[in-house]
Structure 1
Amino acid sequence: MSVLLLLVAVGEIAAAVAALNLRRLMELAAVGYSEEDAELADRLLLITSVFQVALYVATVVVFIVWFHRVRSNADVFAPGTLERGRGWAIGGWFVPVAGLWIPRGIAVEVWRASRTDPFAPDRHEPHTLVNVWWVGFVVATVFTRYADRAYDDAGTPEQIISAVDRLLVGNGLQIVAAVLAVLFVRRLTHMQHTNASKGAGRTVAV
């Protein structure tokens, strides 16, 4: 899981390189640029786009499988304390608009259940990392969609340069979000491993 998330960050770096190359060409539009440069820019954009999509799909599938597994484990650690059923750990991601907060709520409940004392107040092993990860994910997702629309609507070299600048910001936000996701995954997995090793007779998939 962590490896895939880090590869997503690598994909964003590659996309940023391709975007910077396109931006360079647009800045040369007034004086002209070679056909070879234009073909190279198109090729780089195509390759990085395919790479990004493939990595994103693979990461989403693996992440949701992991998310459902840690949600199932939470029932073993603190039965009866989670409001939403296990199915929401999958379906919650695909609910329009509400998908921007349902998974976060599930993550908080799983975090609480996975602590050394799942019934302690929130100040005991606070879920700060959950909040930071989720804010990073939402901001990166929303801004990237906005940047993609701006790029699709761009026509003139000036508009393309402006749109590419937004794409680059989006790349940076996605890299931060991927790193935060790695920290969240590793921490929660470690918490559940620790709980599983301490609980005699507990059967969990960690």
Structure 2
Amino acid sequence: MNGKESTLPPSALRPVQGAANLAVVALALAGLAWAVRALWHIRLAMAGQPASGPPDQGDGVHRPLNALENSYHLVDSAGSAVTVGCALVFLLWLDRVRDNARALSGAEPRYHYLWLFLGWIVPIANLWIPRGMVADVHRSVFPDRRLPAVVNWWWGLWLAGLAGGVGLIYADSTDEVIARAYTGVWPLLAADLVIVAAAGTAALMVRTLTAAQQERVDEAARTDS
């Protein structure tokens, strides 16, 4: 504890185990979606670029897509939808553990509620604020414990996945990514692998921080009773 009493009784704390389980499942699905995307990158590389050239011919000209390229568009769209859903579920979990950390510690979070959303999209700030919010959840309740290493592993992999415009945020269109797979697939596969690892590490982080907070919630319940 940090020397302050809980501002709310244990019965008023928000349940987090269900949100944590949903987040873990969502992260597993996101990792699977990116693994499937990597498989399609390999398929495209093995098939080789058609004689007609890349899908985007330049000057606004696009040739008809073949069956493999069409299927990649479907994989890409499905993966993007899963990733958005995963982000929403992860934020639901983070919102709940932040509320409980405030109730258990009696201290206001370091970052305002708006940063729960803005922290991921504001340039420069998104390099440290999301990690800071997650770290604050743990440190506000357990100031004497070291931050679990999995938090830093997750954040390092997340940043690596954002780098280079070939990871979580593609700088190019889907057709341009297909052309990359034909001519230089290794950067794409490296980014895919990093993102799958980031999803797995995030799931472990969610379980680790949730278990630690649940330990404190159970302790508060025993003290209250």
TM superposition score normalised by structure 1: 0.78
Q: Which residue of 1 aligns with 2:119?
A: 92
Decide which of 31, 34, 43 is 1:21's aligned counterpart: 43
Q: Does 1:6 align with 2:28?
A: yes
User: Residue type matched to 1:119 in 2?
Assistant: P
The 1:149–1:200 alpha-carbon spacing in structure 2 relative to 1, beyond 3 Å, is closer
- Measure, in 2, the Cα distance between the counterparts of 1:10 and 1:160: 19
The 1:152–1:51 alpha-carbon spacing in structure 2 relative to 1, beyond 3 Å, is closer
Query: Are 2:181 and 2:188, in contact at CA under 8 Å, matched by a contact in 1?
Result: no
Instruction: Please list every run of 5 or more consecutive structure 2 residues that lacks an aligned counterpart in the other structure.
Output: 1-22, 53-64
Query: Are 1:154 and 1:163, in contact at CA under 8 Å, matched by a contact in 2?
Result: no
User: Residue type matched to 2:76 in 1?
Assistant: S
Query: Are 1:76 and 1:202, in contact at CA under 8 Å, matched by a contact in 2?
Result: no
Report the structure, 1 or 2, having the larger helix content.
Answer: 1
Q: Which residue of 2 aligns with 1:187?
A: 208
Q: Name which structure has the greater RCO, CA cutoff 8 Å, separation 6+.
A: 2
User: Residue type matched to 2:208 in 1?
Assistant: R
Q: When the two structures are aligned, how many residues end up with a matched partner?
A: 189
- Measure, in 1, the Cα distance between the counterparts of 2:134 and 2:207: 13
- Measure, in 2, the Cα distance between the counterparts of 1:160 and 1:178: 23
Q: Does 1:167 align with 2:188?
A: yes
- Measure, in 1, the Cα distance between the counterparts of 2:114 and 2:171: 32
Q: CA deviation at 1:143?
A: 3.7
TM superposition score normalised by structure 2: 0.72
Instruction: Please list every run of 5 or more consecutive structure 1 residues that lacks an aligned counterpart in the other structure.
Output: 31-37
User: Residue type matched to 1:20 in 2?
Assistant: I
The superposition leaves residues 30-81 of structure 1 with CA deviations (integer Å, 9 ceiling, x where unpaired) of: 9xxxxxxx72211221121011011011011111121111111111122226
Root-mean-square deviation over aligned CA pairs? 2.9
Q: Does 1:58 align with 2:91?
A: no
The 1:202–1:135 alpha-carbon spacing in structure 2 relative to 1, beyond 3 Å, is farther
The 1:61–1:151 alpha-carbon spacing in structure 2 relative to 1, beyond 3 Å, is closer
